[in-house]
Amino acid sequence: RKEVEQDPGPFNVPEGATVAFNCTYSNSASQSFFWYRQDCRKEPKLLMSVYSSGNEDGRFTAQLNRASQYISLLIRDSKLSDSATYLCVVPGGGGSQGNLIFGKGTKLSVKP
């Protein structure tokens, strides 16, 4: 299994839809996870941190399944402004210990 793996998408959804992304990771010792959002030609920005089973912030919910080694991001009532690439981030293990490993991202496009 790759260190971090995401479906690249694109996910094309209408405004108001609910959309979910999954991310699998290989380092079973990972304790903290993050979802970042990156707009076109911009820097990644922290969306949510996940330290236990999950986290919720408004329309965004992140869930962690340690047994299956995946985290998910659920976006409810999608807005046009949610269009971006969503990066799953996990701590590195083995030779990468000490740094964060960024997934290649899942692209979301919300249409009117």
Alpha-carbon gap, residue 111 to 12, rounded angstroms = 7
Instruction: Decide if 64 contacts 54 (C-beta within 8 A).
Output: yes
Q: Is 89 exposed, middle or buried (0-12, 13-18, 19+ CB in 10 A)?
A: buried
Residue selected from 62, 87, 108, 110 as contacting other proteins according to rule CB under 8 A: 87
- Owner of token pair 């590195």: 92
Q: Which stretch binds other proteins (CB under 8 A): 11-19, 37-45, 54-62, 64-72?
A: 37-45
When the beta carbons of 39 and 77 are compared against other proteins, the nearer one is 39
Q: Is 9 in the site for other proteins (CB under 8 A)?
A: no
Binding footprint of other proteins on the chain (CB under 8 A): 31-32, 34, 42-46, 49, 85, 87, 91-92, 97-100, 102, 104-105
